[in-house]
């Protein structure tokens, strides 16, 4: 069973689709009241006996995460895979950035990753098995003007993951990061064609990536065939950070 945060749209939805196609039962966390759960279940479900649960929870709230994990365990008895995907941006130059813009991004992206992982790990330790994949960003490696809050949160996720990998290796629990580059999502859809062209020029492959390509990388690190990769950051960026 795989638990995916922020799995109702964008990269998270594509990750959910990938695991569903591979026959996994899923628990998908979402936060928006506008989420059409019935439609998403129909989209994702591959087999009649496949179980797909959507649970509303705020990843910034530790108790809410605890209840989410409890519901997942009550339903499936285990969590094989945790994908910490929930994340937000509130971009601004530091000189103009409000304290609440910094705090909110750290709370969702970094603290949310802690809240979920802290609640899932005890159950993985009991089973002596688990795969944790945290969604970071190339910005967490290289930095980016106008994204001090986002870069700090994503760099924090990398440090968190590497430390976690060292702590949990003896229990056969592997923890890794995916660091996407420029990916075509709802957030990039609002950009003008001129801006998209300028972005593509910075990328050796001369194109933005897709959410499916990120999902493929997540599945590579999270599936049962990965038995010897842990504490790593896999850039899915078209060669940007070579």
DSSP state of 142: H
Q: Read off the pLDDT of residues 126-154 as tens digits, 9 standing for 90 and up.
A: 999 999 999 999 999 999 999 999 999 99
pLDDT value at residue 195: 87
Choosing from 24, 30, 150, 219, the catalytic residue is: 150
Grouping H, G, I as helix, E, B as strand and the rest as coil, residue 126 is helix
pLDDT at 211 over 80: yes
How is residue 171 written in tokens? 């229990």
pLDDT for res 13: 95
DSSP class of residue 208?
-
State how far the Cα of 82 lies from the Cα of 161, in Å rounded to an integer: 12
**pLDDT of 2 over the 80 cut:** yes
**Residue 150 annotated among the catalytic residues of the structure:** yes
Mean pLDDT along residues 217-237: 98
Distance linking the first and last C-alpha atoms of the chain: 34
Confidence band of 92 (pLDDT split at 50, 70, 90)? very high
CA dihedral 34, 38, 41, 42 (to 10 degrees): -120
**d(C-alpha 90, C-alpha 149), whole Å:** 8
pLDDT of residue 76: 97
Question: pLDDT grade, residue 33 (50/70/90)?
Answer: confident
Given this model, what pLDDT does residue 155 score? 98
pLDDT of residue 215 exceeding 90, the answer is yes
Report the phi/psi class of residue 179: left, alpha or beta, with left for phi > 0 and alpha for psi in -120 to 50: beta
CB contact at 8 A, 66 and 119? yes
Burial class from Cβ neighbours inside 10 Å (0-12, 13-18, 19+) for residue 168 reads buried
pLDDT at 186: 77
Q: Would you place residue 47 in the very low, low, confident or very high pLDDT band (cuts 50, 70, 90)?
A: confident
Q: What is the CA radius of gyration of the chain?
A: 17
Kindly report the CA angle at 85 between 92 and 236, in degrees rounded to 5? 80
Domains of the chain, start order: 2-236 (3.40.50.720)
Q: What are phi and psi of 218, to 5 degrees?
A: -60, -45
pTM for the full model? 0.96
Nearest one of 108, 105, 55 to 84, comparing CA atoms: 108
């Amino acid at each position: 069973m795989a638990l995916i945060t922020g799995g109702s749209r964008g990269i998270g939805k594509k990750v959910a689709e990938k695991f569903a196609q591979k026959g996994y039962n899923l628990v998908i966390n979402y936060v928006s009241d506008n989420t059409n759960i019935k439609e998403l279940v129909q989209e994702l479900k591959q087999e009649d006996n496949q179980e797909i649960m959507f649970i509303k929870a705020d990843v910034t709230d530790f108790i809410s995460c605890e209840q989410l994990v409890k519901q997942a365990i009550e339903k499936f008895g285990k969590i094989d895979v945790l994908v910490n995907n929930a994340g937000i941006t509130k971009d601004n130059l530091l000189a103009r950035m409000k304290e609440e813009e910094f705090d909110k991004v750290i709370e969702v992206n970094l603290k949310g990753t802690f809240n979920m992982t802290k609640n899932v790990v005890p159950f993985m330790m009991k089973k002596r098995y688990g795969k944790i994949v945290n969604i970071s960003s190339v910005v967490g490696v290289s930095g980016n003007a106008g994204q001090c809050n986002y870069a700090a949160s994503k760099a924090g996720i990398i440090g968190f993951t590497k430390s976690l990998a060292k702590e949990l290796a003896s229990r056969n629990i592997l923890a890794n990061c995916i660091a996407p580059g420029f990916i075509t999502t709802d957030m990039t859809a609002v950009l003008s064609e001129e801006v998209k062209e300028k972005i593509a020029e910075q990328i050796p492959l001369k194109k933005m990536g897709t959410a499916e390509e990120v999902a493929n990388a997540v599945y590579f690190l999270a599936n049962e065939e990965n038995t010897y990769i842990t504490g790593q950051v896999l850039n899915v960026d078209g060669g940007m950070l070579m």
